[in-house]
Amino acid sequence: MKTLSLIVASLALYSGQASAQSDGVEIYGRLNVGLERVNNSADAKGNDVRMTRLSNNRSVLGFRGEEKVGNGIKAIFQIEGTLSPDTGAGSPAQRDTRVGLDTPAGTLFVGNWTTSYNNSTSSLDPFYPTTAGYMSIMGNGSAATADNVSDTSSFDRRQQNSVHYWSPKWSGFSLRLTHGMNEERPANGARPSLTSLAAIYERGPWYAVAAAERHHEYQGPHLNDSGSKLALSYSFAHTRLSLIGERLRYETALGTLQRNAWYLSATHQWGPHMIRFGVARAGDGTGSAPLNTRIGYLRRNADTGAMHATLGYDYNFSKRSSVFAYYTHLHNEKNAVYDFAINGVGTSPGATAKGTVLGMRHNF
C-alpha cells in the first residue's frame, strides 16, 4: 500500500511540474482483460486442444501533451507503453510514441506509430484489438511494433523509425502519409523500407477510405509487396455499418503470392447496451509462386480461404468502464492456416479456432 501511494504521489508531482512547463500533460491508459474459454481443433501436432485462460487485449499506459510555440504552431509529444494486467509485464514506449509539430499546414511527427494504412480502418473493427480482431485475416496478421525486418508479412503494423504527415481537413477530406526509414541492412543485400498512404473522407454520418502501402525489398532485393484497400462506413440512429475490401500482393524470388479479403461490421447502441458484430472472409492464395508458398497466414493453394465471425455484447457502466462478452469462430478451409492475430492458439491446416470470452475494459 505504501508503494502504491508513493507511485501515485510521484505521478501527481510529475504531472504538476510538466503542466507548469507546457500547455498540458495528460496521463491516460486502458486496461482490457478477458477470461477466455478457447478451442483449437488442430494444434501443431494435430491435437484438439481446449483451455481456459486470462488474456490481455493490448492494455496501455501513456503520457501526451503539447506546447504552443507561436504562429499557430504547437510542439506535441506522446509516450505510450504496454501493460499486461494478467502477467505484470510491460514496456514504457513500445506503442504509439512520437514527437513532432502540429501546424496550420498539418501535423508532422516521428517515432514508433501505427501506419496510415493501419490506423485509417482499425476503428471500423468493433473488436480491435482483441482476440477477435479482424487482423486474423485483414492485413495478414498484426505487428504490434516492428521494423523492416522483424515482420515482413503484416500490413497491420506499428512501424519503428517512421516519419508521418497528417494533412488538415478540406471539406471532410484529409491525407495521411507514413514512411518507414530504411535503416536495416539484412545479409541478402536488400535495403528495405515502407511507404503508406491513406486518403480519408469524414463528414456527417459518412466515413470513407482509400489506402495503399508498399513494402520495398521486404522479401529480398528488387522484390516489393503491396497492400490496397477501400472502406466505407455509415452511421444512423445509434447504428454503424462498415465494409472493407482488401488486396495483398507479395513478390518472392520464385513468383507472386496474392489474396483478396473483405470485412463487414455492425454496431448498435441503446443506452448502456451495445451489440457488436464482425465477419471477415479471406479468399484463396493465388499467383505464380510455387504451390504452398507461405507468407504470414497467406498460402498459395486451393482451399486456403478462411472466415472469422464474432458476435458480442457490451454493458457500459460509464464512459470509461464496461464489461463485455463475445463468441468468436475462425474456420479454415482444409489447406488454410489462419489464427487469432492476438492471443493466437497455433492452428494447423484446416483447423477451427473458437472462443467464448467475458471481459472488462477501463479507460482513464
Q: Read off φ and ψ for residue 163, nearest 5 degrees.
A: -115, 135
Report which of 241, 263, 248, 361 is spatially closest to residue 309, judged by C-alpha positions. 263
The span from the first CA to the last CA of the chain, in angstroms, equals 21
4 close to 315: Cβ distance less than 8 angstroms: no
User: Residue 38 domain-assigned?
Assistant: yes
pLDDT of 285-314, one tens digit each?
A: 999 999 999 999 999 999 999 999 999 999
pLDDT at 22: 52
Reported confidence tier of residue 13, pLDDT bands at 50, 70, 90: very low
Report which of 161, 61, 154 is spatially closest to residue 112, judged by C-alpha positions. 161
Amino acid at 54: L
Q: Indicate the helix (H) or strand (E) that contains 166.
A: strand 157-166
- CATH number of the domain where residue 51 is located: 2.40.160.10
Averaged pLDDT for residues 139-154: 97
Please tell me the total number of residues recorded for the chain in this structure. 364
In the chain, how many domains are there? 1
Amino acid at 185: R
pLDDT of 344-353, one tens digit each?
A: 999 999 999 9
Q: Which residues lie across from 362 on neighbouring strands?
A: 31, 321
User: Residue 107 domain-assigned?
Assistant: yes
299 vs 301: CA distance, rounded Å = 6
Amino acid at 337: V
User: Residue 157 domain-assigned?
Assistant: yes
User: Residue 15 domain-assigned?
Assistant: no
Instruction: Collect all residues with Cβ–Cβ distance below 8 Å to 308 and sequence separation of at least 6.
Output: 132, 134, 136, 137, 279, 280, 328, 329, 330, 331, 338
pLDDT of 125-135, one tens digit each?
A: 999 999 999 99
**Cell numbers at 266, concatenated:** 455492425
pLDDT at 7: 34
Domain enclosing residue 111, as ranges: 31-363
pLDDT at 25: 93
Reported confidence tier of residue 21, pLDDT bands at 50, 70, 90: very low
Averaged pLDDT for residues 36-47: 95
Radius of gyration of the chain (CA): 21
Average pLDDT, the chain: 94
248 vs 260: CA distance, rounded Å = 7
Burial 260-291 (b: 16+ CB within 10 A, else e): bbbbbbebeeeeeebebbbbbbbebbbbebee
Reported confidence tier of residue 240, pLDDT bands at 50, 70, 90: very high
State the CB neighbour count (10 A cutoff) for residue 325.
Answer: 15
User: Residue 318 domain-assigned?
Assistant: yes
Look at 22-26, 120-124, 320-324 and tell me which has the smallest mean pLDDT.
Answer: 22-26
In Å, how far from its chain's centre is CA 186?
26
Look at 8-12, 142-146, 260-264 and tell me which has the smallest mean pLDDT.
Answer: 8-12
